[in-house]
């Protein structure tokens, strides 16, 4: 997105939510690389929209993603890109073809044995908004109490924050100290250098600068943290990128050792490729922070709307910014109006948007993890929520409240632990605390049958049991499968199942900790809508 004006010349330089495993256009916005599982694309592949492609998801039982995609594709369509880790391939399809032809093409692909889904390689957009008013001083670090947090830690270089965005001017004087030998990657196949292609490509540098610009270095702006940066270029100069490039970027960042991934981009629709990439990050211990979107209405964008992505709304002062989306999926709020940060080339600019609020939260997450390095991603998420400042806004606007760096750094991350090492909640009875979550969808059965997958992260302080129940339409035959061992369940590999005739199923589980529930709903016969309910009980 374009710069929104220079700073003042005189400024001192000195739980009822869809989970991440499900999904169904336009979306809005060294080392491990050798074994990343991302296959090379055609040499002319560039960042930006790919309206002449479809994404085909391949089941885990197939040994070769690209080969199965080629076998499934009718006619002379080409497989132009494959990701063996997220398990999808992109397939060429004429963008000018009639809608019915596209539908028939998708239907033909989905009939193949190892194909789980087919969907458009949708366009992803960044969430920055232009603002031409000059701005001479920062406000976000002060509003989220960074000065107090910095007395304890400026952020550890061992904590890596990845931005999936436009290119980043990583040799900017305020960013060069945040990068090491592994600067990042250009997953859009223009090479491995995530540098901006032009001066118009400013959004990525601005987002990275909010999170990790050098603090107390006598120049420019202060980032929220001094954590390390991994810059992943997946959007073009217009702030647009394809669904597949975003998925590849998430996977690359996870494999490269990111602790926190910032996604200042999103979509109004749910896509299974995007959900699978977020699931990949969650399963490997990475916290994803996502922007709510800039439509100024109810309806949080994806991937922020996923259960285990930390959804961030934007504040102007102590009110919800007029451009910020809101909804029950919001987890935290952060300043997002008129933030000053680095832009190319060696310059600074002011931008507004949920794109700007999101790296504030990512930076605070980096500070908290620097102070409490033993926190798991889910513990880190809960810690940020527990230490947020309630502004008195509706939960749909602020979630738990405005992120608070000082409280996140200084608060005891084991506040419930007694002096003898036991948990103060241990004496409670199972059921003293309950949380209810639900999800719904629609499936069709048949020879192979459709499936939806979910992941549920326990929300009680000491989970002890849960009941997963399913209700579907009369005449349909839906089965329910659950795993608690970290693996996604299948009809052939699961910890618990309820697979009787009919569409009403239920599973009771005993929980010994905060293990995630991984759920598959499979349609054997019939079709229609279903409703799933999870009742979690804790002590």
- Sign of torsion, CA 212 216 219 220? positive
Answer yes or no: 494 catalytic: no
165: annotated active-site residue: yes
3-state class (DSSP) for residue 408: helix
Q: Report whether 133 contacts 139 (CB < 8 A).
A: no
Given the residues 36, 156, 165, 465, select the one marked as catalytic: 165
Residue that is written with structure tokens 């929104």 in the block: 4
Q: Which of 81, 203, 372, 383 is catalytic?
A: 203
User: Other CB atoms closer than 10 Å to residue 130's CB: what's the count?
Assistant: 13
Burial of residue 523 (number of CB atoms within 10 Å: 0-12, 13-18, 19+) = buried
The whole-angstrom separation of Cα 346 and Cα 344 is 5
Q: Which helix (H) or strand (E) holds 355?
A: helix 354-371
Which segments of 98-139 are extended strands (E)?
115-120, 123-126
d(CA 250, CA 236) in angstroms, rounded, equals 16
- What is the SS3 assignment for 464? strand
What 3 state SS string does 322-334 have?
CCCCECCCCCEEE
In angstroms, what CA-CA distances link 30 with 22, 36, 192, 193, 249? 32, 11, 10, 12, 15
Residue 437, H or E segment: strand 433-444
Question: What's the CA gap between 271 and 493, in Å, rounded?
Answer: 25
Concerning whether 355 is annotated as a catalytic residue, the answer is: yes
Dihedral over Cα of 490, 495, 498, 504: its sign: negative
For 274, phi and psi rounded to 5 degrees? Answer: -65, -40
Closest Cα partner for 366 from 196, 178, 235? Answer: 178
Rounded Cα gap, residues 381 and 375, in angstroms: 9
Helices (H), 111-242: 140-143, 146-150, 203-212
CA pair distance 317, 139, nearest whole angstrom? 9
Q: Tokens 């009919």 label which residue?
A: 502
Mapping DSSP to helix (H, G, I), strand (E, B) and coil, where does residue 379 land? helix
Contacts of 494 (CB under 8 A, 6+ apart): 481, 482, 483, 520
The one catalytic residue among 244, 355, 451, 488? 355
Residue 383: DSSP 8-state: H
Residue pair 468/506 in contact (Cβ under 8 Å)? The answer is: yes
- Residue 459: strand, helix, or coil: coil
DSSP string covering 129-143, please? B---S---S--HHHH
Helices (H) and strands (E) in the chain, counts: 11, 25
Residue 359: closest CA among 503, 521, 144, 63: 144
| Catalytic site positions | 165, 203, 355
């Amino acid at each position: 997105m374009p710069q929104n004006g220079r700073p003042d010349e005189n400024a001192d330089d000195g739980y009822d939510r869809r989970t991440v495993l499900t999904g169904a256009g336009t979306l809005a916005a060294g080392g491990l690389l050798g074994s990343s599982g991302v296959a090379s694309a055609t040499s002319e592949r560039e960042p930006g929209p790919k309206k002449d492609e479809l994404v085909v998801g391949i089941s885990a039982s197939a040994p070769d993603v690209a080969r199965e995609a080629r076998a499934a594709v009718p006619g002379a369509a080409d497989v132009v890109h494959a990701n063996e880790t997220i398990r999808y391939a992109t397939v060429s399809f004429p963008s000018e073809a009639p809608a019915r032809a596209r539908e028939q093409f998708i239907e033909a692909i989905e009939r193949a044995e190892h194909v789980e889904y087919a969907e458009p390689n949708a366009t992803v957009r960044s969430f920055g908004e232009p603002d031409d008013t000059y701005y001479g001083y920062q406000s976000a670090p002060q509003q989220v109490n960074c000065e107090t947090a910095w007395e304890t830690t400026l952020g550890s270089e061992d904590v890596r924050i990845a931005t999936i965005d436009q290119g980043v001017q990583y040799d900017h004087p305020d960013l060069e100290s945040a990068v090491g030998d592994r600067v990042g990657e250009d997953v859009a196949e223009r090479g491995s250098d995530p540098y901006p292609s032009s001066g118009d490509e400013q959004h990525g540098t601005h987002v990275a600068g909010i999170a990790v610009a050098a603090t107390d270095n006598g120049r420019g702006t202060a980032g929220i943290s001094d954590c390390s940066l991994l810059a992943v270029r997946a959007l073009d100069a217009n702030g647009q990128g394809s669904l597949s490039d975003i998925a590849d970027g998430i996977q690359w960042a996870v494999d490269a050792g990111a602790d926190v991934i910032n996604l200042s981009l999103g979509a109004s629709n749910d896509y299974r490729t995007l959900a699978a990439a977020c699931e990949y990050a969650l399963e490997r211990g990475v916290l994803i922070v996502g922007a709510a979107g800039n439509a100024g209405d109810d309806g949080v964008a994806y991937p922020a709307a996923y259960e285990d992505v930390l959804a961030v709304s934007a504040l102007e002062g102590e009110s919800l910014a007029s451009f910020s989306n809101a909804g029950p999926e919001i987890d935290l709020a952060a300043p997002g109006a008129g933030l000053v940060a680095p832009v190319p080339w060696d310059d600074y600019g002011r931008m507004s948007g949920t794109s700007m609020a999101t790296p504030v939260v990512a930076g605070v997450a980096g500070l908290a993890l620097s102070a409490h390095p033993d926190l798991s991603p889910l513990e880190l998420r809960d810690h940020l929520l527990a230490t947020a400042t309630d502004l008195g806004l509706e939960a749909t606007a602020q979630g738990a409240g405005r992120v608070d760096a000082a409280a996140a750094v200084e608060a005891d991350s084991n506040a419930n632990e007694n002096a003898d090492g036991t948990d103060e909640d241990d004496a409670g009875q199972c059921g003293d605390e309950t949380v209810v979550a639900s999800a719904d969808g629609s499936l069709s059965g048949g020879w192979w049958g459709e499936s939806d997958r979910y992941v549920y992260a326990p929300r009680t302080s000491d989970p002890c049991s849960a009941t997963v129940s399913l209700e579907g339409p009369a005449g349909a035959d839906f089965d329910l499968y659950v795993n608690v061992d970290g693996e996604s369940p299948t009809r052939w590999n699961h910890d618990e199942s309820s697979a009787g005739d009919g569409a009403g199923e239920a599973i009771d589980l005993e929980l010994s900790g905060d293990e995630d529930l991984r759920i598959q709903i499979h349609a054997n016969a019939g079709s229609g809508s279903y409703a799933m309910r999870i009742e979690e009980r804790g002590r």
